[in-house]
Chains A and B, each alone.
Chain A
């Protein structure tokens, strides 16, 4: 049984009179520990897929099993719990809470997991150390650069030790130097056994992944496994 099993997934949006088929019967498996880049033009359905994989949205039809659990049948509270325990999100726009310190931003998932104050602090500090921002814990997002903000977001994503990291254009708002640092971080997480699924439309970013799924018009047009992902040999790069 694969870590992620997707079968016949469809998603239909009805906006006014027009009906948009964002996904038209998508199916694939992702094994634990894979690093997958999801590519495609905008409107190809890749973001819709990510939202469903992230339990933020439910499919119109089809099956989605995450670690053996049937997600499409779950209540909103159960989905919240899955997101909290199993999934870490990294967004293009970072989505940090304004006027809130890096430390507290990273603590947020633990807050909803019901972790006590002392443990929250310790684990958030450790996460920040992992992304190299231990000395910026008290800074608010406006006091941090874009790359630093994204690293705080990654610290937040991994603080609850999720099995799956979902990154939606994680480098979309960053320059190439910073992008490299962020990708190194993600590759490092993958090297430690976390499954990483990343949406991107830049092929040099996608080149970090060991597998590439390409979407067009709501369907998979290419799924190449066994690529020589850069993650395997540059996992420690940029973490100094």
Chain B
């Protein structure tokens, strides 16, 4: 029996009971659509984390001042021992795993350029900050030694802040005023996008840390060389954990923390956090895919059920086909083709539905989705496999009927 004729006869059998076929396919449709949508959502989440990893830089950790506690009253984050620029220098010098340690402070303040102004983050830091964050210049130059030491009135500007202040004009050599301090833009930063918390990292103005402290913030901060945090980059191949322990120990000594007392600083290992996020989003993808896969299997059982009914209903037809010369194999192929047609048509509808659902999720929610051809191929292949797997038993039952008994079936 040739395959076109077999397909036509399968198609006729399926369209004869159109409603029944549609209901049977529903399981596969929902299963395939669910698999595709879930994988798209999971892949989107993974992609987002991977992107954050890239903007963060590898092997990065942040050191913050710890919390102060006085007489059992704990004062919350960043109330404890102040971090200083010297702490940063010491970390870079004394902890062997550390590649760079960049001190940084931040002020959220209005920046004025000509007749426009913009509230942005002004971060005072050193050139090491760029290395630690793997951030590069788009144009211009980095800070010079004299500017770092002598509170030079220069700045590097991020893409977002530049757009807000200068529009399409070239920000290089323009002057902005930060609390009445004129800052000349000497460099622009390559856009970095959002960080893991959804913050725009390009809405920023970098100035030498001495400039921020002495000219912009002023007051006590200047005298104490206090800083907000330290950006640490650990050398490639070194253990993040060892570096973290080294930093804690060093700062305990420097801050003269009593044995048994709380650390004077908090260390946030961003890379580890992101790796954990990545791992969890991968697990989520698998989990969602598995749950969706279960519905595919349930759909397959639906197909098997209806194929068994179909074989019973059409026993006489099977007998007749055998009487005019069909071999068991012909009958087997015929019913397998019917089952596979059911699952493939269901799979195709499911793919369309899944793509639509993916699009809907992308359009109406904040979630990122990624519809990959691989997941479509996977779902289609799975649907076909389910058709064969669950169609096999009913088809075999049909093929094994004895001609005379099939023909006499009432």
Contact = CB atoms under 8 A, between A and B. Distances in A.
A230 to B, nearest CB: 28
B1 A112 contact: yes
Contact of B320 (A57, A80, A95): A95
B320 A97 contact: yes
B312 to A, nearest CB: 16
B330 A112 contact: yes
A161 B402 CA distance: 25
B16 A56 contact: no
Contact of A95 (B4, B16, B316): B316
B2 A109 contact: no
Contact of A100 (B12, B402, B407): B12
A156 B5 CA distance: 17
A54 B5 contact: no
B2 A108 contact: no
A142 to B, nearest CB: 13
Given A95-B316, A99-B12, A76 B327 contact: yes
Contacts of A54: 323
B327 A89 contact: no
A99 B12 CA distance: 8
A83 interface: yes
Nearest to A48: B404
B325 A84 contact: yes
A17 interface: no
B1 A111 contact: yes
A111 B2 CA distance: 7
A228 interface: no
A109 B325 contact: yes
B324 A108 contact: yes
Interface string B265-304: 0000000000000000000000000000000000000000
A57 B321 CA distance: 15
B152 interface: no
Interface string A114-139: 10010000000000000000000000
B26 interface: no
B381 to A, nearest CB: 30
A81 B325 CA distance: 6
Contact of B326 (A80, A95, A100): A80
Interface string A83-105: 11100010100010101100000
Given A57-B404, A80-B327, A95-B407, A111 B5 contact: yes
Contacts of B327: 76-77, 80-81, 112
Contacts of A89: 323-324
B325 A113 contact: yes
B92 to A, nearest CB: 82
A51 interface: yes
Interface of B: 1-2, 4-5, 12, 16, 316-317, 319-330, 402-404, 407
A100 B320 CA distance: 14
Contacts of A76: 327-328
Contacts of B317: 97
Given A51-B404, A89-B323, 17 more contacts: A54-B323, A56-B322, A56-B404, A57-B403, A57-B404, A76-B327, A80-B326, A83-B403, A91-B407, A95-B316, A95-B407, A99-B16, A108-B321, A109-B325, A112-B325, A114-B2, A117-B2
Most buried by A among B317, B319, B402, B403: B403
B324 A56 contact: no
Contact of A77 (B316, B321, B328, B407): B328
Interface string A181-192: 000000000000
A148 to B, nearest CB: 18
Contacts of B330: 112
B322 A80 contact: yes
Interface string A55-90: 011000000000000000000110111011100010
Nearest 7 pairs of A and B residues by beta carbon: A84-B325, A112-B325, A56-B404, A109-B324, A57-B404, A80-B327, A56-B403
Contacts of B404: 51, 56-57
A109 B320 CA distance: 10
Most buried by B among A77, A108, A113: A108
25 contacts: A51-B404, A56-B323, A56-B403, A76-B327, A76-B328, A77-B329, A80-B325, A81-B327, A83-B325, A83-B403, A85-B325, A91-B407, A95-B319, A95-B320, A95-B407, A99-B16, A111-B1, A111-B5, A112-B325, A112-B327, A112-B330, A114-B1, A114-B2, A117-B2, A156-B324
A83 B321 CA distance: 11
A95 B402 CA distance: 17
Nearest to B15: A99
A109 B2 CA distance: 12
Nearest to A55: B403
A83 B326 CA distance: 9
A113 B317 CA distance: 18
A16 B325 CA distance: 31
A110 B110 CA distance: 88
Nearest to B13: A99
Contact of A112 (B319, B324, B402): B324
A160 B322 CA distance: 15
